[in-house]
Amino acid sequence: MRKITLIIIISFFVLCCVDKEKNAENKIVSFKKSDTITVNSNTTAVFKWTTDLCENIGTYNPKKYSEEELKNTYDLWFTFSGIALETNSNAHYVEDIEKLNIYKLMSEYMEKKSLYNRKIVATSFWNKIKAEKLQELEDEYQLRKITIEAYSNPLVLLNNKYTEYCSEYANVLSGNDTIQLLKSWYKLIEQEKSKNGSPEKFMERFHEKYYSKDRLIYAKIELMTYGWWNCGNSKIKRVNNDGTLEREFNRLFIDVKTECDEP
């Protein structure tokens, strides 16, 4: 009887010890899980980008925005800076007119516009910049489209958002008065000559065109390019790239390290 009682007591003691060891293991596992969560909450990520002469590495909080959002915001600031469209809309020589392609322009416009559907860092500042960039793209597309169309149908110059600012060129280019056309051309040439580094050679090129059989075509080409186009282009509101965009982009990061080459 004593042996049986002793065996029961020993068995109970062993079971108690095993349970305590299991509980201790569970506490250790639980502690390790908690420690991992703490580490994850402090995790940062890095994003790399380039500017004209510099390589940049920024540390950021991935809970605030993703790498894709940063990439798209960088493109909005840096990659898409400068002119919005590259399809040529002006001719410099008679043979260039037939090379102007409105369908190529439309295709580029749709492609560029689709880029603005990408998700960016959604702060009020960057949303505003995105809207302004889209408007800039739209305005430049309309001006290029009108300019290309005007080579075959100059009446399109008379009824668009640029007409009131550039009416001098719109009227003479859409009219049939060749004398007024030549006078406007000469007036424009005199204005351009004053800004040219070699005015004598500039006037030589003008006289070659003026006394050629295609002088009326050259008059229209130069009034379109240096008159109408330059006037309309000056009315497009461009997003100011005075360094503000770069500073705002850098503010998205906890820390930024920059290495630059000598200019």
Instruction: List Cα–Cα distances, 99 to 36, 55, 149, in angstroms.
Output: 64, 39, 13
CB atoms within 10 A of CB 194: 8
Same-domain status, 30 and 133: no
Q: For the chain, what is the mean pLDDT?
A: 85
**pLDDT tens profile 99-151:** 999 999 999 999 999 989 999 999 999 999 999 999 999 999 999 999 999 99
- Closest by CA to 151, choosing from 212, 233, 88, is 88
pLDDT value, residue 26: 36
pLDDT value, residue 8: 39
Q: Rounded to an integer, what distance in angstroms lies between the CA atom of residue 17 and that of residue 9?
A: 13
- In this structure, is residue 57 part of a structural domain? no
Same-domain status, 159 and 95: yes
Q: What is the DSSP code string of 24-77?
A: HHHHHHHHHHHHHHHHHHT--EEEEEE-SSEEEEEEE-TTT--HHHHHHHHIII
pLDDT value, residue 163: 96
Residue position matching structure tokens 């640029």 = 162
Q: Rounded to an integer, what distance in angstroms lies between the CA atom of residue 25 and that of residue 102?
A: 74
Same-domain status, 30 and 132: no
Cβ neighbours for 197, distance < 8 A, ≥ 6 positions apart: none
pLDDT value, residue 6: 39
Same-domain status, 92 and 161: yes
Q: How many domains does the chain have?
A: 2
pLDDT value, residue 263: 67
**Is 105 or 79 the better-scoring residue by pLDDT?**
105
- In this structure, is residue 222 part of a structural domain? yes
State yes or no: pLDDT of 261 exceeds 50.
Answer: yes
Per-residue pLDDT, averaged over 230-250, amounts to 93
Same-domain status, 18 and 145: no
pLDDT value, residue 80: 82
**pLDDT tens profile 151-180:** 999 999 999 999 999 999 999 999 999 999
**pLDDT tens profile 7-51:** 433 344 434 444 444 443 333 222 222 222 233 446 999 999 999
Q: Which domain, by its residues, includes 26? A: 1-42
Same-domain status, 154 and 30: no
- In this structure, is residue 54 part of a structural domain? no
With beta carbons less than 8 A apart as the criterion, state whether 56 and 48 touch. Answer: yes
- In this structure, is residue 30 part of a structural domain? yes
**Is 26 or 238 the better-scoring residue by pLDDT?**
238
- In this structure, is residue 132 part of a structural domain? yes
